[in-house]
């Protein structure tokens, strides 16, 4: 699955607006962005076997590696 830059930034913003906020960079959110995109697509859900009983483990291993770019992308500052 490919995840667009726009989808990754959307998820970065989603996490940044949580309470408490989660700071995650573009690479860190790719798995979550893919999961959200797949869960919104019935064919992708079926192909991946995702249903109400699914358990998914995601790793996000980077924060704001470039704080100025992160702030610009998520709309902070």
Give the pLDDT confidence score for residue 76 in this predicted structure.
73
- The count of domains in the chain is 1
- Structural domain contains residue 14: yes
For 69, the domain range is 5-49+60-74
**Cα(20)–Cα(39) distance, rounded to whole angstroms?**
24
Please determine, for residue 77, whether its predicted confidence score (pLDDT) is greater than 60: no
DSSP 66: S
Tell me the pLDDT tens digit for each residue of 16-65.
999 999 999 999 999 999 999 999 999 999 999 999 999 999 999 999 99
In-domain check, residue 16: yes
Residue 55 lies in a domain: no
Quick one: CA dihedral 68, 12, 56, 42, positive or negative? Answer: negative
Residue 8 has pLDDT above 80, yes or no: yes
Residue 54 covered by a domain = no
Residue 37 lies in a domain: yes
Q: What angle do CA 18, 22, 26 make, to 5 degrees?
A: 115
């Amino acid at each position: 699955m490919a995840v667009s830059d726009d989808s990754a930034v959307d998820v970065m913003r989603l996490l940044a607006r949580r309470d408490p906020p989660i700071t995650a960079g573009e690479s860190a959110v790719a798995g979550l962005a893919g999961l959200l995109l797949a869960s919104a697509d019935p064919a992708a859900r079926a192909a991946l076997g995702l249903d109400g009983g699914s358990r998914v483990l995601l790793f996000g291993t980077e924060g704001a590696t470039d704080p100025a770019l992160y702030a610009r992308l998520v709309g902070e500052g």
